[in-house]
Structure formats: C-alpha cells, structure tokens
Chains A and B, each alone.
Chain A
Amino acid sequence: MKQFLSSVRENIAVADGYNLLTFDWPPHVGIKNPLPGQFITIRNGYSTDPLLRRPFAVSAFHADSHVCEIVYQIRGSGTRALSACSKGDKIDIIGPLGNGFPAPRPGRRVYLVAGGIGFGPIYFLAHSIAKTGNPPVILIGARTKALIPDVSYDRLLHKGDALVFCTDDGSKGFHGTVVDKLESFENLKPGECEIYACGPRGMLAGIAKLTEAADITCWVSMEQVMGCGVGACMGCAIRAREPGKYLRVCTEGPVFNAKDLAW
C-alpha cells in the first residue's frame, strides 16, 4: 500500500445515485496494481467534516493506461463530496488495501453475484476471470432497472458467459433477487463450483445460508465503517463464526470465506 495523489479523469453518473469515478494510478515503483476484491481509501479535500477517508472497492484497473475505476453509491456526506469532483481534481488515495478474492480452483464453475452497492468488486473480478477462459456465471441485481450501472458489459458477453440481470420489480432481466436466481440453478454441487458475492448484508446472509447448506465454497466481500483502513484501529471489526471473536474487514478481509463469519 502507498499514499499518493491522483488526478480525476472522469466522474459520471452510471445509475440512479451511482457514479463511476475514473482516476490515474501512477506507475511509480512501490505502488502495486490493485487486484479484484481489494479496496482503496480516498480523502477528497481538506475538510474535517466529513472527517474520515472513505473506503471503496476497485471496480476496474487498466494496467496499460494506469487508470483505476470505482463505482460508488452517493449515500452520505463523503460520497456526496466525492460526487462533486471533476476532471483534473486531485484526490488523496491509499491503496491497494485488503486481501482480494482468491482465484477459483481449476475446473470449478464460478458464480459471481453482485447486489446493489456490491457491484464494483464483482465487475472487476468478472473481467479478471473472463480472461482466464473459465467463463463465469454473473448475476447482477438491484431493486429496479434504474439502479443497474450502465457500464460496458461487452467483455463479459463472449461465448459461454452467462450474464443475468436480476431486479426485484422485474423491470430488467430476471424478476427476483440474485439469491432467488442462484437458488434456481440445479447444478450447485459441492466440489464443482465456487461462489463469489458482494452486496447488502441480507443478500450475503442469504447466499451464505444457501452455500453452507449445499456445502459450496463461498467468498464474500464485506463492508464496515473504517477508521484507519490499514489494520491499526480495530474499528472495522465484524463478527467471526467463533463466538466472541472479531475480524477486521480492512486486514483479514474485505474478502472472507462465508463459513468464517457469523450470519
């Protein structure tokens, strides 16, 4: 991880209340490239209100042009301030942070599941896995069509891929949640597939329950309010499966094996 100043290239709306921020990732020695599942923290300006840096999962990284992207929901004072940034503005970045998604084991069918705000890391992982020639099934869900990010899905649509949009109100794709859709697959068998998920806690709990019952490996990317983002403050703890134990989202995560967490 490094702390560095970056220039904003673009900051545009991609869905109702969601923005895509594109910014430089300087090719300096010592700044590693972000991996799917990893996150960054951003400080935007010198105001002390909002005070803390904000964590965001990386949604794309272009190694050739050294450009990084995040898709974020505008939902509080920090993201509102970020949404006001425009081309050329400087933002203070620390990253890459956290562990990232482990690679799927060879021969496993891969299911990638994103709900709402969980879109970014799954979108990044989908592109990374699509390149390996092991086409994943991708489920992207939201309450309604207007909340599904309008970004390029071209490289996720090549032969063999299954990209399914799911909306609670049926306004786009499958009528139902991503958990409903996942449950409809008949070939979710232990040892044959692996599931990667990011989204609201209720959705992740639903997937954790389903995969636990079916004895399928499930990786979830978690969210929590963060203090330092680097493992020092113990503030971003979540409950571990073992009673009375906690795990830090920033350091032990943000990606966890679902069976290690308390749901």
Chain B
Amino acid sequence: MVIKIGRNTLKGPVCVASGTFGYGSEYEELIDLSQIGALFSKSVTVEERPGNDIPRLIETPSGLVNSIGLANVGIDRYIDEKLPLFENYPCPVVANIAGGTTNEYEQLTERLAEKKAIWGFEVNLSCPNVVHGLAFGTEPEPVELLVKRLRKRTSKPLIIKLTPNVTDIAAIALAAEAGGADAVSCINTLIGMVIDTKTRRPVLPAGTGGLSGPAIRPVGVAAVYRVSRRVRIPVFGIGGIMCSDDAVQYLLAGASAVQIGTGNFVDPSLVAEVSNGIDAYAKDSGFSTIEDFHCFFE
C-alpha cells in the first residue's frame, strides 16, 4: 500500500521511530531494511551531544522510561559519516532534527534540504529529556511560526512530531498543518518518573524521562484518533506497537502509517511481522488503500 506524504510517497506504512533505530547500520545484520516504509534516524542537533548522565533507562510495567538526552554525532558528522550510509539503504531516510532555538532548526533544515540521501524531515519539538526543555511543542503559535520558517527552507516532506504532554494535542497538530507541515507524528514519549525508595531520589539523574512501550499504546491511539479528525494531513501513529494488531488499531483510529519504536529493541523482526500482518488484514477485509481503514467510526 502506497502512503502519500505531501507530494511524495512511501511504499509501505510501517516505519521505524527516531531514537530506536540509530542510523540504521546498527540493525543491518539483523533485518532487511527494504521492509521499512521509512527509517526515521536518531535526532540530530547542530552540535554533537554526549547525552545525559547515567543511568539512562529504567524498565517499568510494559514500558521503558528513557533519558538519553539526544546523544548524537551532531550535524557535521551526520553529513560526513551517516549520509553516505543512507544513500545505499533500500528504504527512504527521514532526518529527525532537534534544535534548542528556531535558528538551530533552520540551520539543520538548510544543511540537509538539498541532500539526496534525505527523503524528508521529522521535527522533534518535544524531546522531554533535554534540561533546557523545548517550549516549541506545547503551544500552537510557536509551532505554526516554526513550521512556516522551515517550510520556506525545504520542499521535502516536513513531518512534525507531537508531544502528548499537552492539554490539546489536536490544537498543536492544527498549528503544524497551518504552518505548512505535510504530516504529523503522534506521539512522542510521555513524561515519567521512577523513584528509588532506598535512596529516596529519582532513579534518573535528570529526574524525569520519557515513557514508551506498550504501556502508552492506548494514549497513542487516542491521540491519533483526536488529531486525525481535526487535520487533513496524514498522521503517523507511534506508541507501543508490539504486533500487527496494535498497528491496525492505529490505522483504524486514523493513522496513514505507523512507526515502531521500543518494539524494535524487543524484537527487531517486528517491522516485517507488522508489515505482513497489515497486508494480511487488508486482504481479509478487502481493503486496497490506507484510506479504506479510516471510515468505520467517527
């Protein structure tokens, strides 16, 4: 099934979420990358970042709280070292960009706008794990302004990744659409905290982290449901997909494609399994397009 994103298309609806698939090469020995609709690469920032202090991960019931802190190679090394890898991949690569200021987002977009190896952009407005947290993702107006500025700098697909840590996620999605976004991804991680009752301190040095995994799937499905009824642009459903039935829930809720995140850690073969499972579900249901999933309830 072909997925339309702006003027471009993806050849399949099952993607891998930023931050869970590195730069792709980490998984090359384990899975056939051609099964991936689009590979959303690890967030890139202007400067290289070593990441947050340790520990960075805590498992919770059916979930994972992380505080990686955007550890990444920075845009210079991303261009020099990672783009040559991407050029040889059999799947499109979406650059996930994260800035601390509007100017940084603009720089990142400009540096990659003309690169052949980059199919499109996903704008991380909402990484909850950076100390000087981003205000961009939580208010409609700054989102619309930022998207407008980035829209001027690229004709490639521009996807805005939404945080669930807001009162009305649909309002942010509408702002992204008004600014000229081609799609939205929902959702990023939920803010979470785990406290060590022996030390009486949070386990993560940063205090809070981002909760992902199957524990958040119903939150993601509800967010996709609410957002997709308000915007006309496609929605990527993300959050806790562990099997094809989970992905089908997102599609029925209104998503045009899905991203597998934490599930990649648990089972790298999940991309293929979900992709085949969606095809089988569509065939059994007589669906030939993604839009066929979207008309069952209001």
A residues adjacent to B (C-beta < 8 A):
1-3, 43, 48-53, 92, 94, 224-239, 244-246, 251
Contacts and interface: CB of A to CB of B under 8 A. Distances in A.
A1 B22 contact: no
Contact of B29 (A1, A233, A236, A237): A1
A246 B267 CA distance: 26
Contacts of B265: 52-53, 227-229, 233
A234 B63 contact: no
A251 B26 CA distance: 10
B62 A2 contact: no
A2 B30 contact: yes
B68 A233 contact: yes
Interface in B40-98: 42, 50-51, 53-59, 61-64, 66, 68, 71
Contacts, number: 100
A157 B191 CA distance: 54
- Interchain residue pairs A-B with the least CB separation, the first 4: A232-B22, A235-B57, A232-B26, A48-B62
A50 B59 contact: yes
B266 A51 contact: yes
Interface of B: 19-23, 26-27, 29-30, 42, 50-51, 53-59, 61-64, 66, 68, 71, 213-214, 242, 262, 264-269
Nearest to A230: B26
A233 B19 contact: yes
A244 B64 CA distance: 24
Contact of A232 (B21, B50, B213): B21
Nearest to A52: B59
Given A94-B30, A230-B27, A230-B30, A53 B266 contact: yes
Contacts of A244: 50
Contact of B71 (A49, A94, A246): A246
Given A51-B213, A238-B54, A239-B54, A232 B27 contact: yes
B191 to A, nearest CB: 18
B62 A232 contact: no
Q: What's the dominant secondary structure at chain A's contact region? A: loop
Contacts of B22: 228, 230-233
A230 B71 CA distance: 15
A92 B266 CA distance: 10
Nearest to B269: A3
A28 to B, nearest CB: 13
A228 B20 contact: yes
B275 to A, nearest CB: 16
B268 A3 contact: yes
Contacts of A231: 22, 26
Nearest to B67: A235
A228 B61 CA distance: 18
Contact of A51 (B51, B56, B62): B62
A245 B213 contact: no
Contacts of B54: 224, 237-239, 246
Contacts of A233: 19-20, 22, 57, 66, 68, 265
Among B53, B62, B68, B268, find the residue whose CB has the most chain A CB atoms closer than 10 A: B268
A236 B27 CA distance: 17
B29 A228 contact: no
B26 A245 contact: no
A235 B51 CA distance: 10
Given A49-B61, A232-B27, 20 more contacts: A3-B269, A43-B267, A51-B64, A52-B64, A225-B55, A227-B265, A228-B265, A232-B22, A232-B23, A232-B42, A233-B19, A233-B22, A234-B71, A235-B68, A236-B57, A238-B54, A239-B54, A246-B51, A246-B71, A251-B26
